[in-house]
Amino acid sequence: MRNTYETETETESGTETESESESGTETESGTAAAGNAPVRFDTKVAVLLRDDLESWQRLNVTAFLVSGLGTAVPEVIGEPYEDADSTAYLPMLRQPVLVFEGAKETVTAAHARALSRSLTTAVFTADLFGTGNDRDNRAAVRAVGRDALDLVGLAVYGPRNAVDKVLKGARMHP
């Protein structure tokens, strides 16, 4: 069963409301939702990608960015999965990851807003496409000052309204 909820994102022309779907029946507190009532989270997980990336880059960047959230914010991870045959599967994020896109300037501005609001943030820079391991990835980011990072994507987690403000000017990924 799919649950639908709405999110508001500020854009240059005003505030847009978009319907989004999520799978599952978990509420914010982790208890089962009654019937088919929509699940609404007080927090938001969002990825913002630069709109000039190739398809494989978008997928790769998104995977890398959300991978850090569970270690920094353990409450975003749900319970382990199990199928009807009792086969165990890893837990995943407990709420949807909303993916947005925008121009380089939009990503740069969102990064500054996320940091100014002290939101949990992960970054992916263009330099990381040329590295092949975590050590070199961290070194590539460390070698560049915050304002000079060539950002191709970022993930942000926090209160819904704060994340919506960070995403100003971005649009939902098609």
Count CA atoms within 13 Å of residue 13 on its CB side: 3
Which pLDDT score is estimated for 79?
93
- What CA–CA distance (Å, rounded) separates 85 from 38? 28
Give the pLDDT score at 171: 87
pTM score of the predicted model? 0.78
Contact present, 39 and 26 (Cβ < 8 Å): yes
Please give the pLDDT value at position 34: 55
Rounded to whole angstroms, the Cα distance separating 108 from 166 reads 10
The tens place of each residue's pLDDT in the chain, 174 residues long, gives 233 333 444 444 344 444 443 333 334 444 444 567 877 889 999 999 999 999 999 999 999 999 988 888 888 999 999 999 999 999 999 999 999 999 999 999 999 999 999 999 999 999 999 998 999 999 999 999 999 999 999 999 999 999 999 999 998 898
Q: Which two tokens stand for residue 127?
A: 């330099």
Cross-strand partners of 122 = 155
